[in-house]
Structure 1
Amino acid sequence: MQAKEPRKEWEWLIRRPAEAESSGATIYHLISVDLALEYFRMLGQKVVALSVEEVLEKIEKLLSPKHRQLLNDLPRKFYTAAWAPKDYSEHLDILEDATKAVVYQNVVKMTYKPAGGEPHELKVRPLTLLYHKGGFYLVGIASTKRRPVYFNIERIQEMKITAEKFEYPRRYHPEQMLDGAWGIFTGPAETFRLKYAPELSEYISSRHWHRSQKISREKDGSVVLTLNVTDSEELRSWIRSFGKQVQVLP
């Protein structure tokens, strides 16, 4: 007997139900669109040339009354609860230009004010618009640098898209920058062994905290989480958030 291939993750979500085969656009297509455009909803309608609502309105005309009702219920059935997101109402122009420059691979000129520093002019090849813990960061290579760095969007005071194009680096991937990082702050990796109280064992062991993690269970019901990550304030703040229920082991 030939073994069945394992079902791919999310395959159930994108396959067509038999009852919808005759429709040019199924509710499953709309779910895919809705999830894909969630990112652009966070940017605001001004960033995308055609708003999410306009896209869905055009598709809605192709649907049966039954599927139209399903469409209207999607915002309640698939919902993102962002924790403490930053307010970008005063930075929409910057976000719009950054998005266009990333998509079309245009070099940008911008005025950037680093934390505790003075504003200065930069010429940057924008590679990625990164969303992390409620905030947007532009990943790019400045003309004075050889490697990509992070630029906090709200610290970009001015941005101008130039006509100069650049070739997107074939070997670049944002994951490379995050390798060893806890969050987005990178540096030399160190080993941390964190022992959590038994009441937190299920919470800690059921989550993927970092690609380097190793979890072991102790006889008393506690768990030890071992990480090989950058020592940063973001990491230390996360450890402190558990109070007396976590112990940093030597």
Structure 2
Amino acid sequence: MGRGKPAKRYSQAGRVHDIIRLIEARHGMTVEELVEETGVTRRTIHRDMNVIHEAGYPLVSEWQNGQKSYRFLTRFKDVPPVSFTLQELATMYFLRSQSEIFHGTPFAEELEGIFRKVRSVLPPRFAAHLERIAGAAIPLFQGRHDYTGHAETIKQVRDALVHQNRLTVSYRASGREHADTYLVDPYTLAFYKGGLYLIAYAHNRGAFRTFAMERISSVTMERERFELPDDYQPEGRLRDAFGIVAEDAMAVRIRFSPVVADSVKGRIWHPSQKFTDTKDGGVELTFSAGGKLEIASWVLSYGEHAEVLAPVELRDMLHRAVTGLSGIYGR
């Protein structure tokens, strides 16, 4: 066995219980200290740490003076229990159906784990009633991404976001045959039109980049950690974007016909939007945002019921698109 105390003759469950108690009492312990206390090997300690983490304990690891140590994020035993009203639980279950967007990701399994824990403490009658409520809403996500083959990548990105570890990312951009490598600080995970996007600071580019999760081919979590700038605000990063693409904002003006005016006016398309009714019953929408391709595809979805009035470059882009469509469908 080597140095350390003689190995204790107890089960893994008993040893894990002792490790939890030790880490909590000392507010963190190194692997070497745990080896000394338990009399088992480093490999066994690492296996035990995985068991503790998978059991849901808020366990984090960090390197101090060349040694790996473990601690809990909070004195979790001192955290008071969280209580919910029946109305709050009903709302949670009503929104449960919307988790379909996370199909194939670690989030889907973890969300289901949350609801299993809720069900386990509810009277059977309440649990059955809430299950019925969950079926009262159905998600209609058209064109969402299937992340079944990317679950491990998403898990590593999620963990790096939580613990603020740098990542080395291999990423193949749209239209490129080969992947590029980036050293990034992961700042924010964005959900947009059925897709997951990582907003990160790329050190080898000296700028922010947005990475589509399905195009990340590999991820390595680095030991080095980073700090978020005090002035960083996730919503501010895309404040001037119409969607997920961060481009310079432009003044956009679009006229919609009476056929779709009410539908357009009933939604928030951008924080800067303003509506002006037209004499024929239509409406003009103005806003300031970047992302020409995203705006153009959105306008085209309304067909002949939407016309871009400004800016000229966006109107020209749509003219080329419509000319191309005419060549396809006008035969």
- TM class, shorter-length: 0.7 to 0.9
CA distance in 2, matches of 1:49, 1:237: 30
**Cα 1:182/1:25, change in 2 over 3 Å:** closer
Alignment of 1:141 with 2:207, yes or no, is: no
Alignment of 1:164 with 2:221, yes or no, is: no
In terms of Rg, which structure is larger? 2
Alignment of 1:226 with 2:293, yes or no, is: no
CA distance in 2, matches of 1:50, 1:247: 44
Aligned position for 1:30: 89
Alignment of 1:52 with 2:111, yes or no, is: yes
Check whether the contact 1:40–1:47 (CA below 8 A) recurs between aligned residues.
Answer: no
Which deviates more from structure 2 when the two are superposed, residues 133-142 or residues 228-237? 228-237
- The number of residues matched between the two structures is 228
**SS in structure 2 of the partner of residue 90 of structure 1:** helix
Q: Which amino acid aligns with 2:87?
A: Y
Aligned position for 1:101: 160
Identity %: 28
CA distance in 1, matches of 2:104, 2:119: 19
Aligned position for 1:204: 264
Check whether the contact 2:102–2:108 (CA below 8 A) recurs between aligned residues.
Answer: no
**SS in structure 1 of the partner of residue 106 of structure 2:** coil
Q: CA deviation at 1:147?
A: 3.3
Q: Which amino acid aligns with 1:171?
A: D
CA distance in 1, matches of 2:241, 2:156: 28
CA distance in 2, matches of 1:233, 1:112: 21
Check whether the contact 1:41–1:52 (CA below 8 A) recurs between aligned residues.
Answer: no
Q: CA deviation at 1:142?
A: 1.2
Q: Which amino acid aligns with 1:59?
A: V
**Cα 1:165/1:36, change in 2 over 3 Å:** farther
Q: Which amino acid aligns with 1:134?
A: G
Aligned position for 1:9: none
Instruction: Choose the corresponding residue for 1:243, options 294, 298, 303.
Output: 303
Deviation digits for residues 60-80 of structure 1, max 9, x if unmatched?
232233311222123223443
Alignment of 1:115 with 2:174, yes or no, is: yes
**SS in structure 1 of the partner of residue 188 of structure 2:** strand
**Cα 1:174/1:201, change in 2 over 3 Å:** same
Deviation digits for residues 6-64 of structure 1, max 9, x if unmatched?
xxxxxxxxxxxxxxxxxx55433434555787786643476259733333223223223
Aligned position for 2:122: 63
Q: CA deviation at 1:111?
A: 1.2
**Cα 1:145/1:176, change in 2 over 3 Å:** farther
CA RMSD of aligned residues (A): 2.6
Check whether the contact 1:111–1:158 (CA below 8 A) recurs between aligned residues.
Answer: yes
Q: Which amino acid aligns with 2:146?
A: D
Alignment of 1:179 with 2:213, yes or no, is: no
Q: Which amino acid aligns with 1:141?
A: Y
Check whether the contact 1:43–1:92 (CA below 8 A) recurs between aligned residues.
Answer: no
Deviation digits for residues 93-121 of structure 1, max 9, x if unmatched?
11111111111111111211122333222
Which deviates more from structure 2 when the two are superposed, residues 98-107 or residues 189-198? 189-198
Aligned position for 1:195: 255
**Cα 1:160/1:33, change in 2 over 3 Å:** farther
Alignment of 1:131 with 2:191, yes or no, is: yes
Q: Which amino acid aligns with 1:91?
A: H
Q: Which amino acid aligns with 2:160?
A: A
Check whether the contact 1:25–1:59 (CA below 8 A) recurs between aligned residues.
Answer: no
**SS in structure 2 of the partner of residue 67 of structure 1:** helix
**Cα 1:112/1:213, change in 2 over 3 Å:** same
CA distance in 2, matches of 1:39, 1:145: 36
Which deviates more from structure 2 when the two are superposed, residues 57-66 or residues 240-249? 57-66
CA distance in 2, matches of 1:103, 1:35: 27
Check whether the contact 1:27–1:71 (CA below 8 A) recurs between aligned residues.
Answer: no
**Cα 1:239/1:160, change in 2 over 3 Å:** same
**SS in structure 1 of the partner of residue 187 of structure 2:** strand
**Cα 1:35/1:68, change in 2 over 3 Å:** closer
Unaligned runs of 5+ in 1: 1-23
Which deviates more from structure 2 when the two are superposed, residues 117-126 or residues 50-59? 50-59
Q: Which amino acid aligns with 1:200?
A: V
CA distance in 2, matches of 1:137, 1:102: 13
**SS in structure 2 of the partner of residue 70 of structure 1:** helix
